[in-house]
A and B are shown apart, each in its own frame.
Chain A
C-alpha cells in the first residue's frame, strides 16, 4: 500500500508528455527490434558468461554467488527492476553494478573491483536478465530521496561547453534528431546493453558518459554519487516501463 502510494507520487511527478513514454526499443527500426527479440543476439555471450560465473567460487573465501544467493532465477528476480538501493554499510545509495562489485569485495574477499571489469559486466547482465519484462519499481526507501532529488537537479542542469541539460534533449527534444541519431526519451530500461556503435556490452554509466562528452562536459567519475543520483532519477522517471534484456541499441 505504502509502495503503491510512493509509486503514484513518482508517476505524478513525471514531466509533461510522460503519458506516452517511449523506450529506446520503441524508437528502434523493426530490424533492430528483431535483433533484440532474437535470443541469439550478441549480448547472449555476456549472459552465458554471467551464468557460469554465478556458480564459480571466487576470492579468498572461495565462495560463489550461488553459495549465498542460491538460484538467481528466484533470488535475483526483480532486483534489477528496483535498483539503485540503499547500502547500509556505506550509508549511501548503490547501483546494481556497485552492489555486485561490493559482493565480490565484501563477501567473496576478491578485493575492490573495477566496475567495468568484464566479469562484473557479465554478472550484471545475468542478474538483470532475471528481471526481464518486469516493470521498473523504484525502491521506496526514503533515505534515497535526497539523492533522487539531486539526480533531478542534475538532469535539468545545463552542462558542458554546449551548455545543454539532459532534459533539453531527452524531455524537450525527444523524437527529434541529432545528426542522424534519433533523440530517445533516455530511459534506463535496457542496461547493460549491446550497442552496435560500441560493438560490445556497456553500462548506463558508459552511455551517459557518451552524452556528457557529446556536450563537452566532464563525465562523472565511475560510480560517483552524482552518477548514482542521476540513475535514481532516471529510474523513477521511467517507473513502470519494463526491463529489457538482452537489449540492443544502435
Chain B
C-alpha cells in the first residue's frame, strides 16, 4: 500500500496552502459477498489525522461508503518550517504515518 502526499515545498509565513493525501486502500465495505457467497471482511481506514507544529490541524473519520483509494484535501495556514505529518488508522487498529517537510520562508 502506497501513499501520495502533496505538500508545497515552500510557503511564505501566513500563506494558505493546499495539502492533499491519496492513500492506496481497498476500503472494503464489509457488506459485499465474495465468489463463495461469504461476506468479504470489512477493511477500511477509519481515521486520518494531520499534525503540524505539534498540533492536530485536520482530522477526518472515514466510513464504508468512502471510495477505494481515497483522496483528502484541505487548507493549512503556513506557520513555521516543520513536517506536515499524517497518521491514519484502519478498522483493525493498524496505524501508518508519513509526511513531508514544509519550509516556511
Chain A residues proximal to chain B, CB less than 8 Å: 40-42, 44-45, 48-49, 196, 199-200
In the bound complex, how far is the Cα of B71 from the Cα of A44, in angstroms?
12
- Residue pair A44, B4 in contact (C-beta under 8 Å): yes
In the bound complex, how far is the Cα of B1 from the Cα of A45, in angstroms?
9
Q: In the complex, what residues of A have CB within 8 A of residue B20's CB? A: 40
- Residue pair B6, A45 in contact (C-beta under 8 Å): no
In the bound complex, how far is the Cα of B2 from the Cα of A49, in angstroms?
9
Shortest Cβ distance from A142 into chain B, in angstroms? 43
**Other A-B pairs beyond A40-B4, A40-B6, A45-B24, 5, CB < 8 Å:** A40-B71, A42-B69, A42-B71, A45-B2, A199-B67
Q: Does B68 touch A at the CB level, under 8 Å?
A: yes
Which residue of chain A has its CB nearest to the CB of B70?
A42
Shortest Cβ distance from A201 into chain B, in angstroms? 10
Indicate with 1 or 0, residue by residue over B1-27, a CB within 8 angstroms of chain A CB atoms: 010101000000000000010101011
- Residue pair B2, A42 in contact (C-beta under 8 Å): no
Q: In the complex, what residues of B have CB within 8 A of residue A41's CB? A: 22
In the bound complex, how far is the Cα of B20 from the Cα of A48, in angstroms?
18
Q: 8 Å CB contacts to A: which residues of B19-40? A: 20, 22, 24, 26-27
Q: In the complex, what residues of B have CB within 8 A of residue A199's CB? A: 26-27, 67-69
In the bound complex, how far is the Cα of B22 from the Cα of A44, in angstroms?
10
In the bound complex, how far is the Cα of B28 from the Cα of A200, in angstroms?
12
In the bound complex, how far is the Cα of B10 from the Cα of A153, in angstroms?
58
In the bound complex, how far is the Cα of B2 from the Cα of A69, in angstroms?
27
In the bound complex, how far is the Cα of B6 from the Cα of A130, in angstroms?
23
Q: In the complex, what residues of A have CB within 8 A of residue B67's CB? A: 196, 199
Which residue of chain B has its CB nearest to the CB of A42?
B69
Which residue of chain A has its CB nearest to the CB of B21?
A40
- Residue pair A200, B68 in contact (C-beta under 8 Å): yes
Complex A-B: 11 CB contacts under 8 Å: A40-B4, A40-B20, A42-B22, A42-B71, A44-B4, A45-B2, A49-B2, A199-B26, A199-B27, A199-B69, A200-B68
Shortest Cβ distance from A36 into chain B, in angstroms? 13
Shortest Cβ distance from B54 into chain A, in angstroms? 27
Q: In the complex, what residues of B have CB within 8 A of residue A196's CB? A: 67
- Residue pair A45, B69 in contact (C-beta under 8 Å): yes
Which residue of chain B has its CB nearest to the CB of A35?
B71
Which residue of chain A has its CB nearest to the CB of B24?
A45
Shortest Cβ distance from B80 into chain A, in angstroms? 26
Shortest Cβ distance from B23 into chain A, in angstroms? 10
In the bound complex, how far is the Cα of B23 from the Cα of A40, in angstroms?
10
In the bound complex, how far is the Cα of B70 from the Cα of A41, in angstroms?
10
Q: In the complex, what residues of A have CB within 8 A of residue B22's CB? A: 40-42, 44
- Residue pair B2, A48 in contact (C-beta under 8 Å): yes
Asked if A42 meets B6 with Cβ closer than 8 Å, knowing A199-B67, A199-B68, A199-B69, the reply is no
Which residue of chain B has its CB nearest to the CB of A48?
B2
Shortest Cβ distance from B1 into chain A, in angstroms? 9
Q: In the complex, what residues of A have CB within 8 A of residue B69's CB? A: 42, 45, 199
Which residue of chain A has its CB nearest to the CB of B26?
A199
The 9 closest A-B pairs by CB, nearest first: A199-B68, A42-B69, A45-B24, A40-B4, A40-B22, A45-B2, A40-B6, A48-B2, A44-B4
Shortest Cβ distance from B31 into chain A, in angstroms? 14
